[in-house]
Chain A
Amino acid sequence: MKTVNGERSTVNGNSRLVVSILTLCVVASLRLSAQSIAITGGTIYPVSGPRIPNGTVVIQDGRIVAVGANVSVPAGATHVDATGKWITPGFIHANANAGLGVSGLGAFQEGGVQGEINPSFNPAEGIDPAAFAIPIVRTGGVTGGVLMPGGSFFPGQAPAVNFAGDRVEDMLVRRNAAMVLDLSENSKGAGGGSRAGTMARIRRLFDDALEYARRRADFHRAAIQPLSAPAKELEALLPMLRGEVPLAISANRRIDIENALRLKREYRLRVVLLNGVEAWQVAKEIAAAGVPVVLEPNRDIPSFDGLGARLDNATLLREGGVDVVIAQGDPGGERNLRYAAGNAVRNGMSWDDALRALTILPASTFGLGDYGTLEAGKVANVVIWSGDPFEFSAIAEKVYIKGREQPLRTRETELRDKYRALPPPP
């Protein structure tokens, strides 16, 4: 039976839906019981421990069941010879966009809504599992991502996904992996024109959400003064205010970063910094607060939102003890996440730290504990590379998501093959 993952159902006819469901059930049970893969001979970078030359990774039922130098290959397992290859966990893009609309086309984006205060917005149901950007992202060894909403002061919630699956439900790993707040220059308008006004508005919003939580009954009897946002928005803030969900704060200027740390202290929040162009200036304070920073390592162009932009931001933050998560800025270029890591190394970060910045750290930062390392029990998101994954010379040869090998054919490779000879054959 053909069960190549990622392909559309080929079942025809009126009973397509029913047949599809039946087929899915049958295939799923067959596949799950039989899907055992042993990758041998490669150098394994488990992230959770030192690299393992000539190691074996065994995958069963979508999970990693064994990793090591002296692991026996189970009988009946599909054997993949990875001699000379590098094996890493699938990379997790902490500032992802793929699936939220058609490529980078502005008018077709799904990652944000109008208005300023949108904590209840979650773009999950705007994700298109058939978006052609998704297979392209996979070719870069990116198996998962945190889809960051944007476009407003309080853009909403960020779902975490695997970049494989026919339905949103198949893709979702965590529906609300973070609440996003934009504290950059963009948000001055929301504060009436001053950063100080923005901070005052945030505090009032948080205070109102907490008061709403304490006095729901009064609120519904209208026995409470008007609150600064509709109830559904205040309600949506509560998991974050209880510390169950991190608040991902986009801030670049040093004073914005310090304001983010103030919010963390005052409301006892879990905070993640996004972008953090001048974060290197306050590395010690960020480290002391236990706040990870998600950044793009190549941002060095000064603006009044971050005059102190510099290429070794990631390096200086690491030296200050901050957990650094590496992101790729260009929404059309998420497959290039690995090169962002390579550039962080170019600018002084250690190779091991750069690998952690694409794997275990985005996983721990966004509550994705089943991902980010190659260890028994983890979800089998695994990539086999032809060489150093941060190098242009290397390629992701095999990409597994939840233990299933993913097709690496893309719209781009099909266009290439169509026009390889000119004029193209009819």
Chain B
Amino acid sequence: MTRWLSPAGLAVLVSACAGAGAQSSPAAPPAPAATPAAPVSTDTTSVDRPQYVSTYKRRTNPPVLIRNATVLTAAGQEIPNASVLFRDGKIVAVGANVTAPSDAMIVDGSGKFVTPGIIDTHSHLGVYAAPGTFGENDGNEATNPVTAEVWAEHSIWPQDPQIPLAIAGGVTVMQVLPGSANLIGGRSATVRLVPARTVQEMKFPGAPYGVKFACGENPKRVYQNRGPSTRMGNMAGYRAAFIQAEQYRQRWDKWLKDRKGDAPGRDLRSETLAGVLRGEISVQNHCYRADEMAQMLDLAKEFGFKIRSFHHGIEAYKIADLLAANGTAASIWSDWGGFKMEAFDPILENAALVTKAGARAVIHTDSPDGIQRMNQDMAKAYYAGVRAGITLTRDQAIKWITANPAWVLGLDAWTGTLETGKMADVVLWSGDPFSVYSKAEKVWNEGWLVFDRLDPTRQYKTDFNVGQTAPGVGR
């Protein structure tokens, strides 16, 4: 059922579409690597060569069997006294009667809970790294309202000491986005939270690229002297960029068909946006206000693309029906807001009302603090919804931080739930993840035990912490 890409196959998987860089369509599960890479030779151009490929490799680990735990699958079930077995990076069995292979590491889950690894659709770890000096301030290429040409992965610092803190919160995958100064801020990178020397070692193989859009106050504030300085200016900026990209795509698609004559000139800005028009790059749109989200949905219709998720959609509850009809997710907080005018109307029941309307709600963070406690933000939003009389299950709430963000990142065929065949991204919690007192105790990233609260040797620190007073992860 699950389509599987070997890392080796992915490493050579190259888009044939003018270097769009999207290694698979976000609208459907990524396809197996069928397209052979063009041979790299002096006759080829940059378009035909592999671009910034992932060098992530799954670690070899013994099978793991977690027993006697309450398992929240994020696939419709909460199973008491259940087991989860995974081997070779994949989930083999979930349920009441699972026998351990002889070589399995046995983990007693009595009184404990198991969930899929948490996924954050909105992080700036690595691009706004700690310790937070100018030297690590690499998140906003605020030099032009449209910088679709920049890629977040070219800013990510794998030694950001915030990364291990997020791992200790049970996060296994995140989308790292450029900042929100620009209408179009650049490509995102979807990475695994694992110890690494290079971002290539973290990049999730086969994950489609996203592109960051930002509505509203930020671009019009940053560019108020040169424009855009209004919301209508913002919209004009988007349209101008896509009109260019439309022509660029047509030129390239025509040339790629027969490869006659000189190739059109390569333009990284339009290349990313052409990837959006081809459905290969997903739109990740920072947008707070309901009326503005509706404008962006119309923009998407004008140019024939989809918005995968709004981010910071504080007013998503006002247009939850529209989000459901458009198949656009809402990445939101439980209750953060009030810090600017477009964030003026937060309500605690946002995620619950979006879910009730049939749209995908996602709890995201945009915060190196929040990413450490995403289960808490989920719990807050869950209980608020239940108290307001909105019908909601715990499984639906767990999906807000697992299965739904996996969908937003185009990874839902691979991870985000505890189902046979899915990747072994697994968190063992000390207690109910809906409780403020519970902590991620063990975190497996594709079967690799990257964090163990009970074993200091399994709590890695980035180079920044070496030889300095190390921050603890609590006890």
Contact = CB atoms under 8 A, between A and B. Distances in A.
A313 to B, nearest CB: 9
B233 interface: no
B271 interface: no
B380 interface: yes
Interface stretch (A39-47, A56-64, A212-220, A390-398): A390-398
A60 to B, nearest CB: 32
A307 B335 contact: no
B383 interface: yes
Interface stretch (A77-85, A166-174, A339-347): A339-347
Nearest to B377: A392
Interface in A35-75: none
B474 A346 contact: yes
B369 A342 contact: no
A332 B338 contact: yes
A130 to B, nearest CB: 16
Interface string A332-371: 1101100100110111100000000000000000000000
A422 B356 CA distance: 11
Interface string B296-331: 000000000000000000000111110000000000
A315 interface: yes
Contacts of B265: none
Nearest to B344: A103
Contacts of B257: none
B31 to A, nearest CB: 37
Interface stretch (A118-126, A145-153, A286-294, A413-421): A413-421
Contacts of B336: 330, 332-333
A104 interface: yes
A416 B469 CA distance: 46
Interface string B378-404: 011011000110000000000000000
Nearest to B379: A392
B177 interface: no
Contacts of B131: 302-304, 307
Interface stretch (B14-22, B32-40, B83-91, B346-354): B346-354
A105 B341 CA distance: 7
B353 A420 contact: yes
Contacts of A423: 321
- Residue with the greatest number of chain A CB neighbours at <10 A, chosen from B161, B380, B471: B471
A114 B349 CA distance: 39
A376 B436 CA distance: 32
Contact of B472 (A312, A339, A346): A312
A199 interface: no
A182 interface: no
A342 B436 CA distance: 6
A375 to B, nearest CB: 28
Nearest to B380: A392
B335 A336 contact: yes
A307 B161 CA distance: 10
B236 to A, nearest CB: 26
Contacts of B46: none
A310 B130 contact: no
A311 interface: yes
A348 B474 contact: yes
B133 interface: yes
A343 B376 CA distance: 10
Contacts of B337: 103, 332
Given A104-B338, A393-B434, A348 B475 contact: yes
A336 B472 CA distance: 23
Given A301-B369, A346-B438, A392-B380, A333 B335 contact: yes
Contact of A298 (B321, B373, B383, B464): B373
A321 to B, nearest CB: 19
A311 to B, nearest CB: 4
Contacts of B379: 392-393
B165 A300 contact: yes
A329 to B, nearest CB: 8
A248 interface: no
Interface residues on B, range: 35 or more
Contacts of B165: 300-301
Interface in A128-181: 133
A415 B474 contact: no
Contacts of A298: 369, 372-373
A412 interface: yes
Given A392-B436, A393-B434, A301 B471 contact: yes
Given A105-B339, A300-B165, A422-B320, A415 B347 contact: yes
B335 A416 contact: no
Contacts of A419: 317-318, 347, 353
**Of listed B161, B347, B369, B387, residue having the most chain A CB within 10 A:** B347
B475 A304 contact: no
Contacts of A103: 337-339, 344
B436 A391 contact: yes
Interface string B455-474: 00000000011001111111
Contacts of A413: 347
A309 interface: yes
A278 interface: yes
A305 to B, nearest CB: 9
A315 B161 CA distance: 22
A302 B475 contact: no
A298 B434 CA distance: 18
Given A301-B130, A346-B437, A339 B376 contact: yes
B472 A302 contact: no
Given A105-B341, A419-B318, A300 B471 contact: yes
Nearest to A339: B436
A308 interface: yes
Nearest to B321: A422
Contact of B340 (A105, A304, A308, A330): A105
Nearest to A103: B338
B247 to A, nearest CB: 38
Contacts of A339: 376, 380, 436
A330 B335 CA distance: 11
A15 B340 CA distance: 39
Given A332-B336, A392-B380, A301 B368 contact: yes
B347 A416 contact: yes
A187 B130 CA distance: 20
B132 interface: yes
A312 B162 contact: no
A97 to B, nearest CB: 11
Nearest to B378: A392
Contact of A308 (B320, B380, B469): B469
Q: Which 4 A-B pairs have the closest CB atoms?
A: A342-B436, A103-B338, A311-B474, A310-B472
Given A393-B434, A413-B347, 14 more contacts: A301-B162, A302-B465, A304-B131, A304-B133, A307-B471, A335-B335, A346-B438, A392-B380, A392-B436, A393-B383, A395-B383, A395-B387, A416-B347, A419-B347
Interface of B: 130-133, 161-162, 165, 317-321, 335-341, 344-349, 353, 357, 368-369, 372-373, 376, 379-380, 382-383, 387-388, 434-439, 464-465, 468-475
8 contacts: A103-B337, A106-B340, A307-B471, A315-B475, A345-B436, A392-B379, A412-B347, A422-B318
